Structure 1
Amino acid sequence: MPIVLTDDEREQLLAWSRRPSSAQAIALRSRVVLACADAAGAPNGLIAEELGISRNTVKKWRNRFAADRLEGLLDEPRPGRPRTIVDAEVERVITTTLETTPKDATHWSTRSLAAEVGLTQSAVSRIWRAFGLQPHRQDTWKLSKDPQFIDKVRDVVGLYLDPPERAVVLCVDEKSQIQALDRTAPVLPMLPGTPARASHDYMRAGTSSLYAALNLTTGKVIGSLHGRHRAIEFKKFLQTLDREVPADLDVHVVLDNASTHKTPAIKRWLAAHPRFILHFTPTSSSWLNLVERWFGELTTKKLQRGTHRSVRELNKDIRDWIGTWNDDPRPYVWTKTADQILESIAHYCTRINDSRH
Structure 2
Amino acid sequence: MNPPEAAIVLCVDEKTQVQALDRTQPIRPMVPGVPLRQTTEYKRNGISNLYAALNVASGKVITKMTVAHRAIEFIEFLEIIDKNVPKELGVHVVLDNYAAHKTESVRMWLLAHPRFQFHFTPTYSSWMNQVERWFSALTTKYLQRSVHHSVTELNEGITEWAEAWNKNPKPFIWTKSADEIFASMQKYLGPSVSEQTSD
Q: What TM-score does the superposition give when structure 2 sets the normalisation length?
A: 0.92
What secondary structure is seen at the aligned counterpart in 2 of 1:341? helix
CA distance in 2, matches of 1:333, 1:192: 34
Which of residues 94, 98, 119 in structure 2 aligns to 1:279? 119
SS at match of 2:78: helix
Select 2:21's aligned residue among 166, 181, 201: 181
Separation (CA, whole Å) in 2 of partners of 1:168 and 1:233: 22
Mapping of residues 110-149 of structure 1, within 5 Å: none
Aligned partners of 2:190, 2:98: CA distance in 1, in Å? Answer: 31
Q: Quickly say closer, same or farther: Cα 1:336–1:194, change in 2 above 3 A.
A: closer
Pair 1:242-2:89 in alignment:
no
Match of 1:318 in 2: 158
C-alpha distance 347-197 of structure 1, shift in aligned 2 (>3 A): closer
Which residue is equivalent to 1:295?
135
Q: 2:96 is matched with which residue?
A: 256
More strand by share: 2
Give the structure 2 partner of residue 15 of structure 1: none
Provide Cα deviations, 1:69-128, integer angstroms capped at 9, x if missing partner: xxxxxxxxxxxxxxxxxxxxxxxxxxxxxxxxxxxxxxxxxxxxxxxxxxxxxxxxxxxx
Q: 1:332 aligns to what SS in structure 2?
A: coil
The aligned counterpart of 2:169 is 329
Distance 2:141 2:65 in 1: 18
Distance in 1 between the 2:21 and 2:75 partners? 28
SS at 2:142 equivalent: helix
Alpha-carbon distance in structure 2 between the residues aligned to 1:336 and 1:271: 35
Partner AA of 2:89 in structure 1? L
1:195: how far off?
Answer: 2.8
Gap change, CA 1:270 and 1:194, over 3 Å in 2: same
> Percent of pairs identical after alignment?
57
1:348 has 2:172 as partner: no
Query: How far did residue 334 of structure 1 move?
Result: 2.2
2:6 matched to 1:163? no
Question: Structure 1 residue 189: deviation in Å?
Answer: 2.9
Aligned length: 191
**Do the aligned partners of residues 256 and 191 (structure 1) sit closer, same or farther apart at CA in structure 2, a change above 3 Å counting?**
same
Q: Structure 2 unaligned runs (5+)? A: 192-199
Moved over 4 A (4+): none
SS in 2 for 1:331: coil
Deviations 1:164-195 (A, max 9, x none): 10000000000000000001122223344433
- 2:109 aligns to what? 269
Query: In the alignment, is residue 212 of structure 1 matched against residue 37 of structure 2?
Result: no
Q: How many angstroms apart in 1 are the aligned matches of 2:116 and 2:174?
A: 22
Please tell me the residue identity of whatever aligns with 1:280.
F
Q: Using the alignment, how far apart are the partners of 1:196 and 1:337 within structure 2?
A: 38
Q: How many angstroms apart in 2 are the aligned matches of 1:211 and 1:307?
A: 21
One-letter code of the match for 2:38? A
The residue number in structure 1 matching 2:195 is none
In structure 1, the residue matched to 2:178 is 338
Q: Secondary structure at the match of 1:304?
A: helix
Secondary structure in structure 1 of the residue aligned to 2:20: strand
Match of 2:41 among 187, 195, 201: 201
- If asked which structure has higher relative contact order (CA below 8 Å, sep 6+), I would say 2
Aligned counterparts of 1:191 and 1:168: Cα–Cα separation in 2: 44
- Which structure: larger Rg? 1
| Cα separation, 1, equivalents of 2:172 and 2:44 | 33
Q: Secondary structure at 1:239's aligned position in 2?
A: helix
* Aligned mates of 2:39, 2:89 — CA distance in 1: 50
Matched, 1:306 2:146: yes
Q: Which amino acid aligns with 1:260?
A: A
Letter in 1 for 2:131: V
Work out the CA distance in 2 between the residues paired with 1:238 and 1:211: 10
- C-alpha displacement at 1:350, in angstroms? 4.2
Shift of 1:342: 2.0
Letter in 1 for 2:126: S
